Amino acid sequence: MNFLYLEEVYRELHDILIIGKTIERNNKKYHIIGMTLEDEVKLYIIEPYNEPEYCSNRKKGVCNQRKILKEQEKEEYYLNCSDFYFGNERLQVQQSSGSPLKFINDYGEIQLFFEMMKAGWVIPEWLKNEEWDNLQLTTLEFADVKKLPNYSTEMPIIIKHNPNPIQHILEKTITLNVGKSNSFSFTDNYGDKVQCYINNVSLINVWEDMEEQFSDPQYTKKFLPEQLQEIKEHCYMALEQSCPKGMCYIGVEYECSKDLNLQFYTKEYLKSCPEEQEGSVSILMMNTKPDKEIGIHNLPLKSCVVQTAVSPDTTKIPAELFSYLEKVDAWEEKV
pLDDT digits (tens, 9 = 90+) for 122-135: 999 999 999 999 99
CA angle 90, 20, 41 (to 5 degrees): 40
What mean pLDDT is predicted for residues 308-324?
96
**Using CA atoms, how far apart are residues 188 and 328, in angstroms rounded to an integer?**
15
Provide the strand spans (E) within 234-312. Answer: 248-256, 260-266, 301-310
Pairing relation of β-strands 135-142 and 182-187?
unpaired
Provide the strand spans (E) within 101-156. Answer: 135-142
196-242 pLDDT per residue, tens: 999 999 999 989 988 888 888 888 887 788 878 888 888 888 888 88
**Using CA atoms, how far apart are residues 218 and 12, in angstroms rounded to an integer?**
26
- CA torsion sign, 142 to 148 to 149 to 152? positive
End-to-end CA distance of the chain: 42
If you ran DSSP here, which 8-state letter would residue 26 be given? Answer: T
**Using CA atoms, how far apart are residues 92 and 185, in angstroms rounded to an integer?**
38
Q: Is the pLDDT of residue 252 over 90?
A: yes
Q: Is the pLDDT of residue 276 over 70?
A: no
pTM: 0.69
Q: Is the pLDDT of residue 148 over 90?
A: yes
49-72 pLDDT per residue, tens: 877 655 454 545 567 899 888 877
Alpha helices by DSSP H, listed for the chain, are: 3-9, 65-71, 107-118, 125-128, 206-214, 217-220, 225-242, 267-271
